[in-house]
């Protein structure tokens, strides 16, 4: 059964600084939704709100996971992950002095994930052969692209239903960006995930997204029902692509 | 020539056995200081508490000291969990853990000593066990059971802990918790709970470490202070958080002290051992097995 995520009227910030103003985003079951916008517009903050890392001033965030509705605001991060919502954060946040395998195994800490650990590990190594080659290597000693693969693999080890990815392309060479985005699509199909992805790289993100939101100064400036709609929108060309 | 060879052999063997003992009293520091960044300088005092636990069971009930210490580990675990809870609420959560936390553990060190003095007095105490006294002989080499049994118990305890830390989910989370607590939350693990478990384990090892100490030598309440420098030195030399490193460093320090004591006199051994520590850290600052 598929899972979905609904963000309704969320306002949030840090101290007196308001970053998000009445933001509503919905990610339907089995969809890949792109959250588009340049740096400093609130993409990361919105993701942190979903993950319980930033507490919104107002609004509701609900996740429907395999037919059960869960209110997310007020829950701890670990409790949210335990529901089946995984997050690949900005900067990847790997455990640098643990090996690739140890990082992946930590991903499966969640009780529900432990039963499927062998299958998920196989899947990770199949999808990212490089991780298999480097499984005994310390995570901190790998290249940026390899670290991004490990971060994705580790998130998948928790056998999530919903996956949030913050800026998968940041710091990667253009050829790797393309490959990473392809891999996300592959993982999404393989695990039947529901994906919310924040991305600056509009053209890459839109390749795999079913729908998209453009966020400008903490507000949703445009909601596109399809990739074409996003591509051909006047607002996007003006505010976002600078054309 | 013959005599000096047997002296050398005996010095190395007793150094290895001494190292086994050092490893047992250091392994708790390797967890709390090495993996959790908690500077628990009271650890040697908990070792002494462990010695008195074993002494009490041995003198009152006639139980073997090491067996008694194993039975007492759950009590030490709970004590450790309680101490972590106080430490976390009072210092760690507020973000001023480093200096004030140090004062907190200094306080615990003195409180533990004073309690032991009040209950047991200041006299040296010792235990009885069948392995205290006899020795095994391999040619010229003498292996006192009083040192061999503790060394074996120590390695068994450390081996068990190593398996737990490397094979279990909680164990891997313990290794990760000091590296990135926020990322650990994203693995669905509560870092505070993980640290509480790890710290409680570190104190539980003090029960066994204490029994090992009192088998090797008589114990009085403030004896732990003598070991503060040495246990931290071994933990750092081995590479923080590395169990293999802790064991090897303990053995190296034991052998160096034993050799120095045999050939130059016991008063030189701390100087030589710490001189070696400084040299080793100058060459490899992360310690012998540091990642």
In a domain, A16, yes or no: yes
Residue A68 and residue A117 share a domain: no
In this model, does residue A162 exceed pLDDT 90?
yes
Residue A12 and residue A51 share a domain: yes
Taking Cα atoms as reference points, which of B237, B273, B236, B235 lies closest to residue B254?
B273
Residue A168 and residue A54 share a domain: yes
CA distance A110 to chain B (A): 6
Residue A75 and residue A29 share a domain: yes
CA distance B190 to chain A (A): 6
B86 touches chain A (CB under 8 A): no
- Looking at residue B40, its pLDDT comes to 94
- Tell if the CB–CB gap between B173 and A76 is shorter than 8 Å: no
In a domain, A26, yes or no: yes
- Closest Cβ opposite residue A97 in set B183, B184, B291: B291
Beta bridge partners of B122: none
Residue A175 and residue A55 share a domain: yes
| Inter-chain Cβ pairs, chain A and chain B, closer than 8 A | 69
- Looking at residue B226, its pLDDT comes to 87
- Tell if the CB–CB gap between A78 and B182 is shorter than 8 Å: no
- Looking at residue A231, its pLDDT comes to 75
Q: Within 13 Å of residue B13, how many CA atoms lie on the same side as its CB?
A: 19
B180 touches chain A (CB under 8 A): yes
pLDDT band at A237 (very low <50, low <70, confident <90, very high): low
Domain limits for position A135: 94-146
Higher pLDDT, A239 or B53: B53
Residues of chain A neighbouring B189 (CB-CB closer than 8 A): 78, 106, 109
Average pLDDT value for residue range A154-174: 92
Residue A126 and residue A228 share a domain: no
Residue of A nearest to B185 (CA): A78
Lowest mean pLDDT among A78-87, A159-168, A195-204: A195-204
Give the C-alpha distances (Å, rounded to integers) separating B277 from A2, A22, B23, B181, B247: 58, 59, 16, 31, 15
Residue of B nearest to A97 (CA): B291
The per-residue pLDDT for range A9-49, each reduced to its tens digit, is 999 999 888 999 999 999 999 999 999 988 888 999 999 99
In this model, does residue A125 exceed pLDDT 60?
yes
CATH number at residue A16: 3.40.50.300
Residue A78 and residue A36 share a domain: yes
Mutate: best of B162, B187, B194, partner A, most A CBs <10 A: B187
Average pLDDT value for residue range A84-99: 94
B173 touches chain A (CB under 8 A): yes
Mutate: best of A52, A108, A109, A137, partner B, most B CBs <10 A: A109
- Looking at residue B213, its pLDDT comes to 96
Q: pLDDT > 70: what percent of chain A?
A: 96
Residue of B nearest to A96 (CA): B179
Indicate if ipTM > 0.85: yes
Residue A98 and residue A77 share a domain: no
Residue A79 and residue A116 share a domain: no
- Looking at residue A72, its pLDDT comes to 96
Name every residue whose Cβ is closer than 8 Å to that of residue A162 and which is 6 or more positions away in sequence.
Answer: A3, A4, A5, A27, A63, A65, A84, A85, A86, A193, A194, A195, A196
B63 touches chain A (CB under 8 A): no
In a domain, A28, yes or no: yes
Residue A221 and residue A199 share a domain: yes
pLDDT tens-digit profile, chain B (291 residues): 456 888 899 999 999 999 999 999 999 999 999 999 999 999 999 999 999 999 999 999 999 999 999 999 999 999 999 999 999 998 888 877 778 888 999 999 999 999 999 999 999 999 999 999 899 998 888 899 999 999 999 999 999 999 999 999 999 999 999 899 999 999 999 999 999 999 999 999 999 999 999 999 999 999 998 888 888 889 989 988 889 999 999 999 999 999 998 888 888 887 887 888 788 888 888 888 877
Taking Cα atoms as reference points, which of B54, B53, B52 lies closest to residue B64?
B54
In a domain, A15, yes or no: yes
- Between CA B117 and CA B39 the distance in angstroms is 24
Domain count, chain A: 2
Name every residue whose Cβ is closer than 8 Å to that of residue A229 and which is 6 or more positions away in sequence.
Answer: none
* Residue B226, number of CB atoms within 10 A of its CB: 10
Residues of chain A neighbouring B188 (CB-CB closer than 8 A): 78-79, 81-82, 109-110, 158
pLDDT band at A242 (very low <50, low <70, confident <90, very high): low
DSSP B93: G
In a domain, A54, yes or no: yes
Q: Collapsing DSSP states into helix, strand and coil, what is residue A59?
A: strand
Residue A182 and residue A77 share a domain: yes
- Tell if the CB–CB gap between A98 and B176 is shorter than 8 Å: yes
Asked if residues B25 and B201 have their Cβ atoms less than 8 Å apart, the reply is no
In this model, does residue A106 exceed pLDDT 80?
yes
- Looking at residue B277, its pLDDT comes to 79
In a domain, A89, yes or no: no
Residues of chain A neighbouring B291 (CB-CB closer than 8 A): 97, 138
The per-residue pLDDT for range A199-228, each reduced to its tens digit, is 988 888 888 999 999 998 999 988 887 777
In a domain, A155, yes or no: no
Residue A189 and residue A76 share a domain: yes
Taking Cα atoms as reference points, which of A220, A160, A240 lies closest to residue A195?
A160
B169 touches chain A (CB under 8 A): yes
B184 touches chain A (CB under 8 A): yes
Residues of chain A neighbouring B183 (CB-CB closer than 8 A): 89, 93-95
């Amino acid at each position: 059964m598929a899972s979905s995520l609904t963000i309704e009227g969320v306002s949030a910030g840090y101290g007196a600084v308001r970053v998000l103003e009445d933001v509503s985003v919905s990610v339907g079951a089995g969809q890949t939704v792109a959250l588009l916008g340049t740096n400093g517009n609130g993409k990361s903050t919105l993701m942190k709100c979903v993950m319980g890392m930033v507490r919104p001033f107002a609004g509701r965030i609900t996740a429907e996971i395999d037919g059960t509705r869960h209110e997310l605001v007020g829950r701890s991060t670990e409790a949210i992950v335990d529901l089946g919502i995984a997050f690949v954060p900005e900067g990847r946040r790997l455990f640098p002095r643990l090996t690739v395998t140890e990082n992946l195994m930590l991903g499966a800490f969640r009780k529900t994930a432990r039963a499927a650990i062998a299958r998920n590990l196989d899947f990770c190594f199949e999808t990212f052969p490089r991780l298999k080659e480097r499984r005994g290597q310390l995570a901190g000693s790998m290249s940026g692209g390899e670290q991004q693969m490990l971060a994705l693999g580790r998130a998948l080890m928790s056998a999530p239903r919903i996956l949030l990815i913050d800026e998968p392309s940041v710091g990667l060479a253009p050829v790797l960006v393309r490959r990473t985005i392809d891999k996300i699509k592959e993982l999404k199909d393989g695990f039947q995930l529901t994906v919310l992805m924040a991305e600056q790289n509009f053209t890459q993100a839109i390749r795999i997204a079913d729908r998209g939101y453009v966020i400008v100064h903490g507000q949703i400036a445009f909601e596109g029902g399809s990739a074409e709609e996003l591509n051909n929108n006047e607002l996007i060309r003006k505010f976002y692509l600078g054309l | 020539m013959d005599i000096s060879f047997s002296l050398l052999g005996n010095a190395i063997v007793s150094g290895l056995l001494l190292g086994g003992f050092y490893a047992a009293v250091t392994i708790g520091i390797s967890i709390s200081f090495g993996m959790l960044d908690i500077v628990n300088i009271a650890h040697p005092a908990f070792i002494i508490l462990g010695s008195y636990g074993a002494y009490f069971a041995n003198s009152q009930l006639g139980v073997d000291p090491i067996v008694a210490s194993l039975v007492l580990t759950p009590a030490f675990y709970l004590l450790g969990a309680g101490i972590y809870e106080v430490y976390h609420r009072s210092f760690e959560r507020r973000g001023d853990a480093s200096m004030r936390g140090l004062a907190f553990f200094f306080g615990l060190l003195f409180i533990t000593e004073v309690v032991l003095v009040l209950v047991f007095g200041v006299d040296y105490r010792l235990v009885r066990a069948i392995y205290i006294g006899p020795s095994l002989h391999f040619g010229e080499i003498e292996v006192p059971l009083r040192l061999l049994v503790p060394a074996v118990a120590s390695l068994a305890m450390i081996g068990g802990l190593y398996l737990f830390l490397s094979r279990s989910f909680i164990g891997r989370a313990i290794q990760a918790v000091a590296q990135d607590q926020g990322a650990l939350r994203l693995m669905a693990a509560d870092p505070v709970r993980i640290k509480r478990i790890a710290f409680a384990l570190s104190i539980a090892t003090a029960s066994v470490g204490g029994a090992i100490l009192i088998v090797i030598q008589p114990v009085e309440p403030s004896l732990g202070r003598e070991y503060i420098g040495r246990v931290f030195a071994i933990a750092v030399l081995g590479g923080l958080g590395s169990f293999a490193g802790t064991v090897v460093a303990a053995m190296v320090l034991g052998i160096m002290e034993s050799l120095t004591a045999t050939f130059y006199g016991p008063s030189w051994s701390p100087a030589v051992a710490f001189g070696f520590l400084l040299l080793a850290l100058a060459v490899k600052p992360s310690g012998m097995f540091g990642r």
